[in-house]
Structure 1
Amino acid sequence: MKLPMRPTYFARDPGAAICARRRRLLLALAAAPFAAGLSLSPRTARAAQGVIEGRDRWLFPAWESYQTDDTSACLAIVDLIGRVVGAMNAHGVRCTIVVAPLKARAAADKLPEGASLAPAVAQRYTAILARAKQAGLDFVDAVAALANVDTRADSTYIRADYHWSAHTAEAVADATARRLTDAGALRGEQADPPALGEWTEEMDYGDLAALLPPDRKRAIGKDRFIVREEADGGGLLPDATPVVQVVGNSMVQPYLGFPQRLSHTLARPVGLTWKFGDTGPWKTLLDYLESPAFVQQKPQAVVWQFNEGQMAYGPGASGQWDASSIMAEAAWLDRVEKALAR
């Protein structure tokens, strides 16, 4: 299996270890709802394993309901994000938000026979963007970016995996780059970034398939992972101080190409801090803001990435994040303020 090695044009967070192999399932995230005894979506063929089997052997995460209306909680989270963005702006750091759409939204035609998004869930992403716009926040419309994915070459999400495809990651990265440049000039002179690597195909079991019993896993089969090889020629600015820092979960991991594409499109060095989804966006951002790298050189902008299926949960959501990540909202905000002020 040939994997991309060191990305060519983005600065890594030295504290984020990149596995030699492809990052597999968010197993901790998958287990979290069951450990907490949370309810699942009702339309589950394999809910006991955390997987919903849809049409054409597509799989969906059972811990992300496409029936439950939690829009009001999501809008409250947008308000909390607004408080953090305001604090970051006060310290000279811009913030752009990316919310990865629910897989059931991106591939609604592959849900189980007779199943569909509940009307309120179908409108939830639009409601989130509307609330953000009302508050003057810079949210990327990742749902609109899905329309720019050439589905003749790849699907928008990986069939039996939790994640969006590398083509979708790049489409969202391009939309993010446009938001960043529209918000104002970025520091430094643009440089000619090295070419992105050629597309290559790997066959492996998807993250969600790995949750199934052996017989069902074999029946679902392996997925095509279409990713880029490492570009030839080495890094243009491998040790450069990031102008933009991406903070998120495995949707923005290097394997799927989001930070490389963002850096390529911006022609600026981009840093990356990412953790598995069970860590949560709140602790991941805090880890970055409290890191020596942030103290030594604040970026001009932070791209903060969320998952739509987790948007209803704040930093104190017991059962959603690993125990070490959970903290009261007030305590979390206090630590963010102190980290920004250093």
Structure 2
Amino acid sequence: MTDTGRPIMRMSAQPVALDERRRRLLLALAAAPLLGGLSTVPARALAAGQTSVIEGRNLWLYPGWESLTEDATQACTKALDLIHQTAAKLAARGIRSVVVVAPLKARSCQENLPDGVAMSDGVKARFDAMRSHAASLDLQMVDSVRAIAGVDPAQEKYIRADYHWSGHAAEAVAAAVASHLTADALKGGSGGARLGNWKEEVRYGDLATLLPPERKKAIGKDHFIVRTVVAAKTLVDGEPPVVQVVGNSMVQPYLGFPQALSRVIDRQVGLTWTFGDTGPWKTLLNYLESPAFKGSPPQAIVWQFNEGQMMNLPASAGQWDATSVMSDDAFLARVTKALA
């Protein structure tokens, strides 16, 4: 904030023109694990991010590297086409697919954007356009925007000075996913996770850490409202997960997504998650090519994406780590081989 109290932006004049190296670092930071803080983030990532954070009203921060004006809807629907092809291959193996897209922070928390900053009409319409396209493909895509909108107004939907959605939002989306995975459609015995009580932890959000020291201090620390850890139930005879969640740090255990899903469907839920620069395509392959999948395929896979990265296909060099970049055909070939 300025001395007059007017919200300001700390971002480059053309935030969408970041060079590839810088964008990779920012995406890695965006999906860095909350529980470990940012100690594992390279210093060069912090330096790169100092001009790519939007400071909004009420000391809220937004990721400036996710464009609010370029809708990229056509690219997003192409990604859904590839997801649909993948889901068809999974279905042939008897595995259901549910797609979860974490909305832009600016979409769910528009009220704290600074003056003069808003989503373009194309970006505003993009999420509904994606859901409509998914429906036309008979692809199950959760309405995460609606789920998050239903979070108790007394609770944050996204963490004020952090990239991630809140624990309450994570659980709301998990409940929406559960409606696509009704218990009567899932085989196996009961065995849902137990949820601990809510607690508060105080630390700097990851976006705040990208700011210069004086701004970081002015923004202050966030109050992370998360569940206390409850010991997991012992699996009977090593029973494997009925549902596997595959995604990035939005679905990490710290924010409670897999535990909440397990609780609602009353089944064991597994989790495979990676940093944001690995990307959702390689993350799925990490699971499908793993011994865990080979030994005990799940009945359903919940595949999570970030809206701000949704337009990036497997071949998007500069968006993903070099080891994650591949053509669409190469990705599908590896999926086919893993499912054979």
Q: Which range, TM-score by smaller chain?
A: 0.7 to 0.9
Matched, 1:171 2:172: yes
For 2:141 and 2:291, how far apart are their aligned partners in 1?
Answer: 27
Alignment of 1:218-297 (within 5 A): 218-231=217-230, 234-237=232-235, 239-297=238-296
Q: 1:25 to 1:110 in 2, by over 3 A?
A: farther
- The Cα RMSD (Å) is 2.2
Q: Which residue of 2 aligns with 1:3?
A: none
Q: Which residue of 2 aligns with 1:75?
A: 77
Q: Equivalent pairs: percent with the same residue?
A: 54
Residue among 95, 98, 105 paired with 2:107: 105
Q: Which residue of 1 aligns with 2:189?
A: 189
Q: CA deviation at 1:329?
A: 1.3
Q: CA deviation at 1:60?
A: 0.6
Structure 1 segments, 4+ long, off by >6 Å, are none
For 1:127 and 1:49, how far apart are their aligned partners in 2?
Answer: 31
Q: CA deviation at 1:241?
A: 0.4
Residue type at the aligned position of 1:168: A
Q: Secondary structure at the match of 1:63?
A: coil
Q: Secondary structure at the match of 1:98?
A: strand
Residue type at the aligned position of 2:159: I
For 1:171 and 1:270, how far apart are their aligned partners in 2?
Answer: 16
For 1:311 and 1:26, how far apart are their aligned partners in 2?
Answer: 25
Report which of the two has the higher share of helix: 2
Q: CA deviation at 1:19?
A: 7.8
Q: CA deviation at 1:92?
A: 1.1
For 1:180 and 1:329, how far apart are their aligned partners in 2?
Answer: 28
Q: CA deviation at 1:240?
A: 3.1
Q: Which residue of 2 aligns with 1:299?
A: 298
For 2:109 and 2:120, how far apart are their aligned partners in 1?
Answer: 14
Alignment of 1:136-215 (within 5 A): 136-152=138-154, 154-181=155-182, 185-191=185-191, 193=192, 195-215=194-214
On the 8 A contact 1:97/1:140 being kept in 2, the answer is yes
Q: Which residue of 2 aligns with 1:38?
A: none
Residue type at the aligned position of 1:157: Y
For 1:25 and 1:262, how far apart are their aligned partners in 2?
Answer: 29
Q: Which residue of 2 aligns with 1:133?
A: 135
For 1:49 and 1:20, how far apart are their aligned partners in 2?
Answer: 22
On the 8 A contact 1:316/1:329 being kept in 2, the answer is yes
For 2:300 and 2:214, how far apart are their aligned partners in 1?
Answer: 47
For 1:234 and 1:164, how far apart are their aligned partners in 2?
Answer: 24
For 1:337 and 1:25, how far apart are their aligned partners in 2?
Answer: 38
On the 8 A contact 1:26/1:207 being kept in 2, the answer is no
Q: CA deviation at 1:113?
A: 1.0
Alignment of 1:12-23 (within 5 A): 21-23=35-37
On the 8 A contact 2:194/2:232 being kept in 1, the answer is no
TM-score (norm. length: structure 2)? 0.85
On the 8 A contact 1:26/1:278 being kept in 2, the answer is no
Q: Secondary structure at the match of 2:75?
A: helix
Where relative contact order (Cα < 8 A, 6+ residues apart) is larger, the structure is 1
On the 8 A contact 1:25/1:207 being kept in 2, the answer is no
For 2:40 and 2:152, how far apart are their aligned partners in 1?
Answer: 26
Q: Unpaired segments of 5 or more residues in structure 2?
A: 1-31
1:121-176: CA deviation from partner (whole Å, max 9, x where unpaired): 00100000000000000111000101221121x21000000000000000000000
For 1:279 and 1:136, how far apart are their aligned partners in 2?
Answer: 27
On the 8 A contact 2:200/2:226 being kept in 1, the answer is yes
For 1:161 and 1:24, how far apart are their aligned partners in 2?
Answer: 11
Q: Secondary structure at the match of 1:177?
A: helix
On the 8 A contact 1:25/1:208 being kept in 2, the answer is no
For 1:280 and 1:222, how far apart are their aligned partners in 2?
Answer: 28
Q: CA deviation at 1:180?
A: 1.1
For 1:25 and 1:331, how far apart are their aligned partners in 2?
Answer: 35
On the 8 A contact 2:193/2:263 being kept in 1, the answer is yes
Q: Which residue of 1 aligns with 2:7?
A: none
Q: Secondary structure at the match of 1:313?
A: coil
Q: 1:93 to 1:63 in 2, by over 3 A?
A: same
For 1:299 and 1:151, how far apart are their aligned partners in 2?
Answer: 36
For 2:34 and 2:222, how far apart are their aligned partners in 1?
Answer: 19
TM-score (norm. length: structure 1)? 0.85
Q: Which residue of 2 aligns with 1:58?
A: 60
Q: CA deviation at 1:26?
A: 9.3
On the 8 A contact 2:194/2:259 being kept in 1, the answer is no
Q: CA deviation at 1:324?
A: 1.1
Q: 1:128 to 1:52 in 2, by over 3 A?
A: same
Q: CA deviation at 1:323?
A: 1.0
Q: 1:326 to 1:135 in 2, by over 3 A?
A: same
Q: 1:142 to 1:24 in 2, by over 3 A?
A: farther
Residue among 105, 109, 121 paired with 1:119: 121
Residue type at the aligned position of 2:331: W
Q: CA deviation at 1:83?
A: 0.5
